């Protein structure tokens, strides 16, 4: 079992399979785009599987595939199949924008990927186009309908908090409630210089708005290491499960049990820290598994106690421009 120097048990690895994405979300990718990594820089399928294996031996229990958009990676099914075959005890999860999900549902079910987080900031087609830069809401909604029919997946919808989210709260809540899906709101993190009209909304403002639309009750039983959970009953009696993820206004670092691997093989122990530990190069230089284990142990040992970005005011710019490390599409969210 991996334990860091603040006594946190590290059991969860987020694996970014690619920096490519078929959306251009305004909070994730700057308007001018980001230069993509070259083919050789990105880890190969076997490299991912080998590195995942080292973590599994070191006691990791849960892997979440993310990106970029993990489903645009050509080898996705191969990586998934081999990971499942070699490490049957690992819990495998997926975070996706849902645009391509429909055609992957069968293999995902067959390989036991039960927990799927789908990004869905809006169910309004025009607004979706504006936020993501693509007219693909239809594909996402159709994937969700199909996934629900499987009656197998544990689906969470993730919506980044915008001022516009607040305008659309009612329809979003109803959409999730009608399908019995958990709806989680994520405070927007300042990975990019923020432009006009993309202001930061703190979770507490959301909670005030939710309270107007129904009865909200804390449900600690379903809290995760990052999400604060609520049972909500809308004014007309419809129940909805709500999650709030407030990385900016309420730190949850003390419960952080996660590590991240970027698609170019860098281990990150904190989303907000520029510190990265290269595991790809030692692997490619045949330095052996013992060297890889030492790098991982050192990284875990040095995992920061907490992030140092303070959200001092919720002014028009929120926490904007406080960091300029990598965009989320490059880190893997």
Among 8, 64, 73, 188, binds ligand SAM (CB under 6 A): 188
Residue showing the smallest CB distance to ligand SAM in the complex = 333
Among 12, 27, 230, 283, binds ligand SAM (CB under 6 A): 27
Backbone angles phi, psi at 103, to 5 degrees: -75, -5
- Within residues 55-74, the interface with ligand SAM by CB under 6 A covers 66-67, 69
Among 18, 83, 97, 262, binds ligand SAM (CB under 6 A): 97
CA 25 to CA 35: how far, in whole Å?
Answer: 15
What CA–CA distances, in Å, run from 69 to 23, 45, 105? 8, 16, 15
Region of 78-86, 162-170, 185-193, 276-284 interacting with ligand SAM (CB under 6 A): 185-193
Which residue has 């809006």 as its token pair? 122
Q: Give residues with Cβ within 8 angstroms of 91, minimum separation 6.
A: 61, 62, 63, 115
State in angstroms the smallest separation of the CB of 186 from ligand SAM: 5
CB nearer ligand SAM, residue 59 or residue 274: 274
Among 17, 160, 261, 292, binds ligand SAM (CB under 6 A): 160
Backbone angles phi, psi at 89, to 5 degrees: -80, -15
Residue 116 CB coordination number (10 Å): 24
CB 17 within 8 A of CB 77: no
Per-residue x/- mask for ligand SAM, residues 28 to 57, rule CB under 6 A? x-----------------------------
Q: Is 96 in the site for ligand SAM (CB under 6 A)?
A: yes
DSSP 4: -
3-class SS at 217? strand
Strands, E assignment, 67-132: 91-96, 115-119
Per-residue x/- mask for ligand SAM, residues 110 to 129, rule CB under 6 A? ---------x----------
Region of 89-97, 215-223, 264-272, 285-293 interacting with ligand SAM (CB under 6 A): 89-97
**Binding interface with ligand SAM (CB under 6 A):** 21, 27-28, 66-67, 69, 95-97, 119, 158, 160, 186, 188-189, 191, 328-329, 333
């Amino acid at each position: 079992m991996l334990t860091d120097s603040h006594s946190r048990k590290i059991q969860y690895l987020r694996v970014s399979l690619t920096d490519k994405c078929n959306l251009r979300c305004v909070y994730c990718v700057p308007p001018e785009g980001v230069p993509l990594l070259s083919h050789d820089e990105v880890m190969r399928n076997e490299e991912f599987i080998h590195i995942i294996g080292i973590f599994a031996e070191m006691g990791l229990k849960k892997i979440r595939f993310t990106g970029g958009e993990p489903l645009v990676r050509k080898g996705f099914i191969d990586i998934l199949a081999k990971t499942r075959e070699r490490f049957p005890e690992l819990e495998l999860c997926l975070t996706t924008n849902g645009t391509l999900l429909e055609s992957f549902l069968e293999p995902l079910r067959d390989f036991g990927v039960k927990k799927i987080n789908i990004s869905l900031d809006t169910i309004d087609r025009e607004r979706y186009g504006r936020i993501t830069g693509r007219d693909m809401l239809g594909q996402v909604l159709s994937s969700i309908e199909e996934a629900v029919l499987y009656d197998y997946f544990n689906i969470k919808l993730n919506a980044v908090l915008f001022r516009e989210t607040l305008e659309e709260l009612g329809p979003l809540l109803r959409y999730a409630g009608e399908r019995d899906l958990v709806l989680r709101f994520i405070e927007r993190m300042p990975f990019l210089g923020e432009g006009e009209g993309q202001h930061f909304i703190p979770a507490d403002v959301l909670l005030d708005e939710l309270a107007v639309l129904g009865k909200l009750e804390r449900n600690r039983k379903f809290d995760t290491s990052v999400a604060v959970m609520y049972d909500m009953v809308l004014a007309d009696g419809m129940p909805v499960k709500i999650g709030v993820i407030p990385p900016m206004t309420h730190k949850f670092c003390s419960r952080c049990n996660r590590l991240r691997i970027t698609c170019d093989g860098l281990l990150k122990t904190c989303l907000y820290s520029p510190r990265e530990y290269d595991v790809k190069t030692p692997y490619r230089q045949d330095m052996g598994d013992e060297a890889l284990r030492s790098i991982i142990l050192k990284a875990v040992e040095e995992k920061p106690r907490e992030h140092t970005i303070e959200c001092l005011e919720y002014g028009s710019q929120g926490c904007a421009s406080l960091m300029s490390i990598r965009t989320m599409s490059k880190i893997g969210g």
